[in-house]
Structures are given as structure tokens and as C-alpha cells.
Amino acid sequence: MDDRRIGAGIRAARVRRGWRQLDLATAARVSQTTVSRIERAALARLSLATVRSVAAAVELGVELRLRSRDGDIDRLVNGRHAALAEAVIAWARTFDGWVARPEVSFSVFGERGVIDLVLWHETLRALLVVELKTEIVDVGEVVATFDRKIRLASAAVAPLGWRPLRVAAALIVASSSTNRRRVAAHHATFRSAYPDGVVALRSWLRSPWPDERPIERPGAGPGGRPGLRALTFFSDNHHRNARSSFASVRRVRRPPQPRR
């Protein structure tokens, strides 16, 4: 986040509207002093929410951008995502009959996106839609985006020649203390969207529920039982250990001890 550019941009937008700093402060429900500090690029002690609120009052958006001395941060994030996908695919191969296809793109009635991973069982004509998360950031976005992918999954795999009779979904999250805390903090939301766990997921992969039907929305399929909706944490040791290299690692350094 470029403090000077943000301050200059907000000031320019305010002036273009013919507003005083007090007018902007009133619209954003902050003090005039706060507006002044933002325009002077003195953002160090201001919360991101405050800066975004002031920017929104003049119809501007604020974005953060990570920079790394070691290179492209996207490559680091995508590397974790790819490692998680590889591990999940390897785990899925321990169940008979399943074929994995990562990064399945779709465009259905103007809705576009990419499904992280799909597992297909030709004999049973069963489809598992998988969403992979190395970090849980925006809970609402996670649930809404995955819901859309589940809804469009049957159409997304049609070009592959797959015609599923039963569809299930699994949100697989890299195991870390941070991710577990975030899921726990939104337990009701996640429990409602994904009531099943790893035991049910394993059972489904061994023998998909025979009376399931493709569904167009979360919940029960027509004439069938509710489709499996699982949330599980995934680690390097396949659910047996909370440690994982897929999620970001936070190290805490002990303060130096005084010499005696």
C-alpha cells in the first residue's frame, strides 16, 4: 500500500467534489484530524478499515499488495496451493477407481471460474468437487464461491464426457493453527455449509451414496438424500498431524535473555 499515493488520491477526489476535509470526515464518520492524517500520508497508526472507509466515501477502493525480497509472492502462494493439490491427489489415489483432474475451468451462462480439483469415478458415475484453501481469509467469499462451483460442477465436467449421477463436495483446508482458529471462530457458518467431516468423506470415496442425484443447489437432491458436504483439514501426514507445509508458517522468536 503506497501511503503517499493513497493520501494524494483521496485529497484529489475530495477536491474534485468540492468538499472540505470536514465534509469528507462527516461522510466517512471519522474525525477531521483523521482525514488530514490520511491526506498527509500519515497512515502508520490508522487501521486499514478506517482508511478504506474514508476512501469509500469518495468512491475509491484501497488494495494491499505484498512484496518480497526473494521474488514473486504469487509464486510462493501458488507453490503452496500446488503442493496441497499434489498431496490431495496422491491421497485420493489410495481409493479405488478415482481419476483426478485439477484446474477445471468453466463458463456457464456467463458465469466463469476454475474448480481447483475434481475427482471422477467412471463406474459409479460419481463426482467429487474439491476446493483447496491454504489460508482462510474471507469466510463469506469462501462459502459463496464454492457454492457457485458446486452448482455448476455437472456442466463444468460435461466437456470431459462425464455425466455424474451423484455429486459431492469437499472443502480441504491446509492444517495450521491459524486456519483452525478461523474455522472455529465461524463454526456455525462452516457447520451449516459443510456438515460432514473427514470420516464421512472417506466413507463416500469408498462407496458413494447410491441414492444421491446431481443437485443444482446445496441441500437435498430430488428424490435423494442430502449430498455430502465435507470440510476437513489436510496435513503432510494425511489428517494425522496438525503440522503442514501448505499453510504459511509463523515463527515466534524468544526475546534475548540478559546475561548473568
Structural domains for the chain = 3-57 (1.10.260.40), 73-234 (3.40.1350)
pTM exceeds cut of 0.85: no
Q: Is 217 exposed, middle or buried (0-12, 13-18, 19+ CB in 10 A)?
A: exposed
CB 157 within 8 A of CB 131: no
CB 132 within 8 A of CB 91: no
SS3 163: coil
SS (H, E, C) 65-130: CCCECCECHHHHHHHHHHHHHHHHHHHHCCCCCEEEEEEEEEEECCEEEEEEEEEEECCCCEEEEE
Residue 112 is predicted with a pLDDT of 82
Q: What is the pLDDT of residues 196-249, one digit of tens each?
A: 999 999 989 988 865 554 444 443 333 344 588 999 998 865 544 334 455 544
Spatial separation of the C-alpha atoms in residues 41 and 45, rounded to whole Å:
11
C-alpha count within 13 angstroms, C-beta hemisphere, residue 84: 32
Q: Is 181 exposed, middle or buried (0-12, 13-18, 19+ CB in 10 A)?
A: exposed
Residues of the chain below pLDDT 70: 1, 65-77, 209-226, 236-260
The H or E element spanning position 232 is strand 229-234
User: What is the phi/psi pair of residue 156, to 5°?
Assistant: -65, -35
Of 195, 186, 169, 173, which Cα lies nearest the Cα of 242? 173
Q: What is the DSSP code (8-state) at residue 186?
A: T
Residue 252 is predicted with a pLDDT of 41
Residue 28 is predicted with a pLDDT of 94
Spatial separation of the C-alpha atoms in residues 236 and 88, rounded to whole Å:
10
